[in-house]
Chain A
Amino acid sequence: MSILVDRDTRVICQGITGKVGEFHTRGCLDYGTRMVGGVTPGKGGETVAGLPVFNTVAEARDATGANATMIFVPPAFAADAILEAVGAGIELVVAITEGIPVIDMARVLPVVRDSGSRLIGPNCPGVITPAECKIGIMPGYIHAPGHVGVMSRSGTLTYEAVWQLTQLGRGQSSCVGLGGDPLVGSSFIDILALFEADPDTHAILMMGEIGGSAEEEAADYVRQHVTKPVAAFIAGRTAPPGKRMGHAGAIISGGKGTAAAKLTALADAGIEIAESPADMGAALVRAIERRASARGR
């Protein structure tokens, strides 16, 4: 088992005729993902990477039975692309696009909330269940199948963590990139609930960063609802206040969203803290061992 995606997930790519969309569609195909088609308005009937292109998501869904979409549509049109996917009843919408205006997402989120769809991202690397299904831009080969659930607000930092886990012999059940924007479709809490319910996930590693309060909320949730061992890393201990650190959401404003506050909240919830980015995989192993020794007593 796993969360969100598996070998039966049928995936389309919105923006498949763009350079980036095509490149990553091929990457997902190479990994073994069941890519079944793509969508670009006005380019229906074409073929990209051997896949049929449709004008609308609804047509693509009807023709292919797709239940997931990967969005590479440029920022100015991406919010509309998300709404189109939700409107067509696609269950899992993964928005990779970086640079969507915040107000556009404020318009999108209530629609997603009232639908049966789940949105991951935007501005995220995507979702992967190792050896089964990759939807996104992450390098597939660093992953290994296993039992650690991984979730993060950052892309390359996730790769770093996954690579450490794989080298320690700890494979992953699923890895979810939540996205680096202020407003995203799924929070740490949403994914924690899925990992907690997934029998194949035995421990959880999360990577947060400065800005907002999603990590503090996750800490509260872990204390109340999560029985599995959890480890965490927070990026940005040295980040100065008032400066946007690359991600639109990574900013300390008004004294809020500091790494120190997040680390305190996480540690207070009994979460194992990785003190350095080199320590993420090891922290997860410590969290598992600590739990095992507590059980042994």
Chain B
Amino acid sequence: MFPLRLCDIRFQPNGRPVLDGIDLELGGEGITLVLGPNGAGKSVLLRTICGLLEPTGGKIDWGGGKRPELGVMMVFQHPMMLRTSVLENVAVALKPHGVPRVERRRRAERVLDRVGLLARASDSARLLSGGEQQRLALARAWVTAPRLLLLDEPTASLDPSATAEVERIVREIRTDGTRILMTTHNLGQATRLGDDVVFMSAGRVREHAPVQRFFARPASDEARLFIQGELPWRLNF
């Protein structure tokens, strides 16, 4: 599956360039944060990699092989919560993997324990708080042991403690060997979690650099302005 190479990926619904020639290479380890202003194409990029959107041009090379049928998972900003228990909401992700029902539940329990929701396994998923629902969504992805996990602003609208908990889980998933590509608007989170940063603007990758270098010496003016726009927020803390 890796290195994952995106070559001149374009997505232009009705002729409007949302992704305008994306070139990107991802190795098999680490957490890559995708930063950029609203409308930069971050979420569309993740959906394209996930296979939810068909690019209108370009090619995705999955380590020289075909796109894997399983092994890529995505967690959304507002994850779905089925009208059933927390446990079943996690176990359901293993259906496409052909895992027997008993084994699905056993694996789901194990992952729920790791995200701190085992005590709520029999509760209704829809009655969880926003932070707990996001942890459930991460558990649902994690239970399938994906090679690549795509996270679309998983901590947007979460309070600081819920955000910290989600970040802890993301680190654990990475430690388990999953490659993570995550969008965020939170620059503090980027410095805490990321190994490298992809900076996007107007449907293009403007910069791809290690986290420290990106924040210390952004290569593009747009990246510098983007970071400066966030700096007062960070200095307050």
Are A and B co-members of a single complex?
Answer: no
